[in-house]
């Protein structure tokens, strides 16, 4: 299935690097990253979280390496991880070297914290010899004081300059296996910084709004920044930085890419109408129940929950499967075609049952097995609903006639 989003700007071409088995940049799919919140020395706890992140859609996971015990933990974590592991390094060159010795698939260095040129070049040399990529992770909140002062703050230009200086150190030792991030907690600053970075570097860019905060605000800020850039063709990998369970970060990243058509759907995509006075059921309740039940199936399917039969099946005809509420009944449909009418109490159960059958038999077979009388029943429900609340509720015929008389 081709998931190229033709309505988005063409993706900017970058060099390609490999974080373990995951390609980043070039024509590789945009990847999702997250970071563990466990102590890296807690090997079993960290691995449990890594597996949860991978299941939620993370392609790459970052772990802190801030002490010797963390580096020792990475020795055991790396070979047992289902996804490549990147070590997060801030202040201590020894930890970067220890993480490389532990066998990590990548490093993240913060130029604002690891500042001595000779130490930076030492790490780059070691990474070069081992074939391990490095992310230059610039952060508006930890810029080098000299750069902050020169640019009068954490401006987009300051962030890009920090990355440029670090990259120059790498180039001195012949190391170019690099990706770059220029994150800020301000969405506007972040967007401007990445636009400038995309004009300045041909290295892959890792997107993120740093310190976005808890849900739902953090999710909104992260999406505002990341989605804007992706729509412009900028970005090769991403992370939501949420004050929440990191599984929410991975899930959000994956869903964003699927929503933009930049990754093939991996799980459920549930769409639902916002409800209105014509709705015959509690749409919010039914949608939530359906989402919980269908998520457990782990089937890559788009499902619609619509509040009424007047417009529901037509508006959601692009969905693989859906249900619309009639008078105490649910109208089950596949790609806009009614296949069965079920009691209201059975709506969620019917959706789940049909989703399972679609997964086994396919959409065409399930359409062929539809109830021959379902469309007629649905039409009767539509007519009844329109009579109660529908087309002539505003005395349309009389009003139109009066308008025409006035016009003449």
pLDDT tens digits, 45-72: 999 999 999 999 999 999 999 999 999 9
Distance in angstroms (rounded) separating the CA atoms of residues 363 and 349: 18
Q: pLDDT value at position 398?
A: 75
**pLDDT digit string (tens) for 107-125?**
999 998 888 999 999 999 9
Helix (H) or strand (E) holding 120: helix 117-130
Tokens coding 376: 């007629």
* Residue 152 Ramachandran class (φ > 0 left, ψ -120 to 50 alpha, else beta): left
Q: pLDDT value at position 278?
A: 63
Q: pLDDT value at position 6?
A: 56
Q: pLDDT value at position 404?
A: 79
195 CB-contact burial (10 Å; exposed 0-12 / middle 13-18 / buried 19+): middle
Closest to 351 in 3D by CA, of 394, 302, 279: 302
Q: pLDDT value at position 393?
A: 46
**pLDDT digit string (tens) for 191-224?**
999 999 999 999 999 999 999 999 999 999 999 9
Domain positions in the chain are 16-259, 269-389
CATH number of 16-259: 3.20.20.20
Q: pLDDT value at position 2?
A: 42
CATH number of 269-389: 3.30.413.10
Which residues of the chain carry a pLDDT beneath 70?
1-6, 277-280, 310-312, 385-397, 408
Peptide bond into 216 cis (omega under 30): yes
Do the two domains 16-259 and 269-389 of this chain adopt the same fold?
no
Helix (H) or strand (E) holding 62: strand 60-64
């Amino acid at each position: 299935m081709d998931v190229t989003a033709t309505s988005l700007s063409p993706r900017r071409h970058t060099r390609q690097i490999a974080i373990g088995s995951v390609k980043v940049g070039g024509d590789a799919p945009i990847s999702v990253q997250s970071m563990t919140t466990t102590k890296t020395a807690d090997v079993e706890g960290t691995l449990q979280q890594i597996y949860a992140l991978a299941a939620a859609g993370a392609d790459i996971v970052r772990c802190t390496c801030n002490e010797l015990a963390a580096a020792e933990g990475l020795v055991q974590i790396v070979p047992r991880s289902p996804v490549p592991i990147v070590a997060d390094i801030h202040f201590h060159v020894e930890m970067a070297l220890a993480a490389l010795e532990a066998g990590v698939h990548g490093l993240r260095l913060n130029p604002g914290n690891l500042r001595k040129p000779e130490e930076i070049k030492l790490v780059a040399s070691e990474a070069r010899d081992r074939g391990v990529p490095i992310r230059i992770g610039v952060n508006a909140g930890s810029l080098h004081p000299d750069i902050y002062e020169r640019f009068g703050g954490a401006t987009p230009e300051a962030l890009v300059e920090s990355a440029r200086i670090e990259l120059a150190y790498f180039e001195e030792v012949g190391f170019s296996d690099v990706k770059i991030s220029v994150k800020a907690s301000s969405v506007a600053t972040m967007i401007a910084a990445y636009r400038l970075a995309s004009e300045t570097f041909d290295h892959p860019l890792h997107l993120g709004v740093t310190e976005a905060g808890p849900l739902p605000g953090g999710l909104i800020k992260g999406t505002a920044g990341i989605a804007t850039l992706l729509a412009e063709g900028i970005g090769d990998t991403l992370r939501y930085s949420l004050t929440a369970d990191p599984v929410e970060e991975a899930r959000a990243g994956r869903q964003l890419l699927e929503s933009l058509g930049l990754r093939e759907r991996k799980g459920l995509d549930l769409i639902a109408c916002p409800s209105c006075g014509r709705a015959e059921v509690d749409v919010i309740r039914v949608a939530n129940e359906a989402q919980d039940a269908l998520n457990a199936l782990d089937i890559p399917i788009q499902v619609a929950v619509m509040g009424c039969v007047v417009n529901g099946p037509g508006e959601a005809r692009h969905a693989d499967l859906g249900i619309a509420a009639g008078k105490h009944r649910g109208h089950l449909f596949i790609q806009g075609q009614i296949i069965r009418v079920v009691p209201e109490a059975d709506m969620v159960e019917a959706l789940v049952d049909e989703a399972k059958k679609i997964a086994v038999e396919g959409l065409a077979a399930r359409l062929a097995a539809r109830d021959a009388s379902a469309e007629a029943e649905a039409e009767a429900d539509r007519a009844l609903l329109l009579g109660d609340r529908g087309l002539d509720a505003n005395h349309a015929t009389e009003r139109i006639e009066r308008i025409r008389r006035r016009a003449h």
